[in-house]
Amino acid sequence: MNHLITGLLVAAMVCFIMGLRAMSRTHSARRGNLISALGMTLAIIGAILELVRLEHLAMTQAWIILAAIGLGALIGIPAALRVKMTAMPEMVALFNGFGGIASLFIASGEVVASGGGMTGFTASTAFLAMLIGGITFTGSLIAFGKLAEWIPSRAICFPAQHVLNALLLLAVLVGVVSFAIWPEAQWIFWAAIAVAAVLGIMAVIPIGGADMPVVISLLNSYSGLAACAAGFAIGSPLLITIGALVGAAGIILTKVMCKAMNRSLGNVLFSGFGSATSSGGGGPQGEAQSLLPQDAYYVLEAAQSVVFIPGYGMAVAQAQHAVRELADTLAANGCDVRFAIHPVAGRMPGHMNVLLAEANVSYDLLVEMDDINPSMPTVDVAVVIGANDTVNPAAVEDPESAIAGMPIILAHQARQVFVLKRSMRSGFAGIENPLFFRDNTWMIFGDAKTTIEAINGEFKEG
């Protein structure tokens, strides 16, 4: 039995490592997800057998765990199948939160089972698992609310907010030291759960909607760190390994997101970005030019190079399949077609990559921001599909803008720019976009999918 359990747990660790590696590439991400799912299956089987071996669980009681797994599957599978691509960031936020609260429950169970007889190391790791897990759970719920627009997506700030957060953080630091010294004083642990829950809320509400991709990455890292701490608390090498992998991956992705926005993590967490809509275009800057899809067809039909720049609006309209059809048509017409992907386009990391992969857009056509920008002045037409903040020229032209210094895709440098939007409304950051008023920009108003399908229809007729 021991060899079987060890083999299952080692195989699970290998699957998680291989799966994470595969998920780092678009063309192998689906395979990586399946490998990781296999690893989780092996880990669950190994954990059940380990409980039976330690006589913490009779084989006849294993049905309780299996029933819980079945219940979770009955909830999770339909939710995953029915979720819209526009709601995927919200689901990811919930997954992060559930991971956090699972670690909190593991730590709480260990504290209850110990009856106060824990070592200082076990007590401190259980406390950290509870603390990080609690912050992750409530913080993820706030992120979910902002993404779903159940609560205002803007930064919510109030006087002395940073002072209050500092006091809460100081309280939990005192708590972890105290509990490590006096693990029998379990009231410290239970009181700290409430403080952790409040701290999670207070940490996320002052962060504006434009920073949500960074927040999701960070909360993902938190969920991994909470699991890692829980693994130390209960002595589980598997949980330690999984938590470390998730935590490290989340931190790396957070760093990538911050670099893409030219901001430090501290600036994201404490600046309250998005709380104001001034700076960078506080009002109308001229008269926007509009164009009909039928007229856009003639321009695209004659274009030698076209760059599609997708954003959250493409996800809302579910236009990715129509966009791929148009891209195929243009390529067949002898046009050089590429897709420019900003690292924080959409509302979660990789949002646009997932959408385009769903539509079977060739990975070779996807070009990162740093690679596409030098060639933008030679592009005949840049087609901006629902993107806003990631193509806002105020970031590079207006030092007073709230997004000054943020790297953007230089769509405004293309010879002509088509912006597909429902209205002139500002983006998720709440900042006016002067691109809409440029002489080389034409607004094509309406649902992006309907607009692209109309252009596709013109090509078919032509």
Across the range 89-116, mean pLDDT stands at: 89
- pLDDT above 90 (res 323): yes
Is residue 344 over pLDDT 90? no
To 10 degrees, the CA torsion angle through 284, 289, 292, 298? -140
Active-site residue, from 389, 398, 439, 447: 389
349 within a domain of the structure (yes/no): yes
Instruction: Return the pLDDT at 35.
Output: 94
Q: Please indicate, yes or no, whether residues 224 and 302 belong to a single structural domain of this protein.
A: no
* Domain boundary, last residue among 218, 240, 275: 275
Asked if residue 196 is part of any domain, the answer here is yes
Name the domain boundary from 275, 309, 344.
275
pLDDT of 448 higher than 80: yes
Q: Is the same domain home to 200 and 183? A: yes
CATH number at residue 350: 3.40.50.1220
User: pLDDT tens digits, residue range 63-80?
Assistant: 788 888 889 889 988 988
Q: Are residues 12 and 107 in the same domain?
A: no
Are residue 306 and residue 386 in the same domain, yes or no? Answer: yes
**Which tokens is 193 given?**
């759960």
Asked if residue 365 is part of any domain, the answer here is yes
Report the DSSP beta bridge partners of residue 337.
Answer: 306
Task: Choose the final residue of a domain: 44, 64, 82.
Answer: 82
C-alpha span between 346 and 210 (Å, rounded): 9
Same domain for 175 and 158: yes
Cα–Cα distance list, 226 to 7, 73, 124, 136, 246 (Å): 25, 23, 12, 8, 10
- Structural domain contains residue 358: yes
Q: Is there a catalytic annotation at residue 328? A: no
- Name the packing angle between helices 293-302 and 448-461 (round to 10°): 60
Same structural domain for residues 73 and 177?
A: no
Report pLDDT digits (tens) over 255-282.
877 776 666 676 666 655 444 444 444 4
In SS3 terms, 282-345 reads as CCCCCCCCECCHHHHHHHHHHCCEEEEEECHHHHHHCCHHHHHHHHHHHHHCCCEEEEEECCCC
Residue 281's pLDDT is 46
Q: Check whether residue 348 and residue 375 sit in a common domain.
A: yes
Residue 281 lies in a domain: no
Q: Quick one: pLDDT at residue 280? A: 45
Domain total in the chain: 3
Q: Do the domain assignments include residue 162?
A: yes
Q: Are residues 102 and 246 in the same domain?
A: yes
For the segment 429-441, the average pLDDT, to the nearest whole number, is 84
Same domain, 71 and 92: no
Mean of pLDDT values over 144-162: 80
pLDDT of residue 449: 92
Question: pLDDT digits over 203-220, tens only?
Answer: 888 877 667 778 888 898
- The pLDDT of residue 273: 47
**Is there a single domain that holds both residue 148 and residue 264?**
yes
In a domain, 258, yes or no: yes
pLDDT in tens, 37-71: 999 899 888 888 877 776 666 666 777 888 888 89
Kindly give, in sequence order, each residue whose CB lies less than 8 Å from that of residue 175, ignoring residues fewer than 6 positions away.
127, 131, 188, 189, 191, 192, 195
- Per the structure, the complete domain to which residue 350 belongs is given by 293-461
Q: Are residues 124 and 148 in the same domain?
A: yes
Res 276: pLDDT: 41
Residue 280 lies in a domain: no
270 and 315 in a common domain: no
